[in-house]
Amino acid sequence: MWRKFLRSKLHTVRVTAKNLEYEGSLTLDPRFMIAAGLEPFESIWVYNLENGERFETYVIKGEWGSKEVCLNGAAARKGEVGDRLIVVSYHWLRPEEIERASVRLVYVDNDNNILQEKDLPVKE
C-alpha cells in the first residue's frame, strides 16, 4: 500500500509578478527550488493565504537571485502581487520507506529572503 506524504514546503513566499499570457505554472527563483528540492516542471500545490485559493500546477525555473514568485497563465487569476503563498510537493511512500523519509521545510520572510531550512522526519 502506498501512502502520500508532504515532501517539501516553501512557507509564505510572496507573489512578485503575474503573467496571464503565459502557458501556465509558477515561476520560482532557483534558490527556492534548490532549498525545497524542487525540479523544473515538477508538480506542486499552491495555497494562497490571502484568499484561500488552492491549486495544482508545476514549477518553472526563474532567474537566479531574483526572489521571483510569478503566477502564470490561469494561475495568475488565483492571486495578486504581494499575496503570501505556501508551495508544497508531495510524494508517495511504501510502508518500508516511511521510517527513513523526511520533510524539507523552507521558511521565507516578507521580502522573500530564506530565513530557515530544516528537515523533519516523517515518522518520529
| pLDDT score of 63 | 96
Query: pTM of this prediction?
Result: 0.94
| pLDDT score of 23 | 77
Q: Which of 8, 43, 47, 58 is catalytic?
A: 58
What is the distance between the alpha carbons of residues 102 and 97, in angstroms, rounded to a whole number?
10
Number of Cβ within a 10 Å radius of residue 15: 24
Residue 22 annotated as catalytic? no
| pLDDT score of 124 | 75
Binding residues for substrate: 57, 73-75
| pLDDT score of 96 | 93
**Which residue stretches of the chain have pLDDT < 70?**
none
| pLDDT score of 71 | 98
Q: Map grid coordinates 506542486 to a residue.
A: 44
What domains lie within the chain, and their CATH numbers? Answer: 3-108 (2.40.40.20)
| pLDDT score of 24 | 75
Residue 25 annotated as catalytic? yes
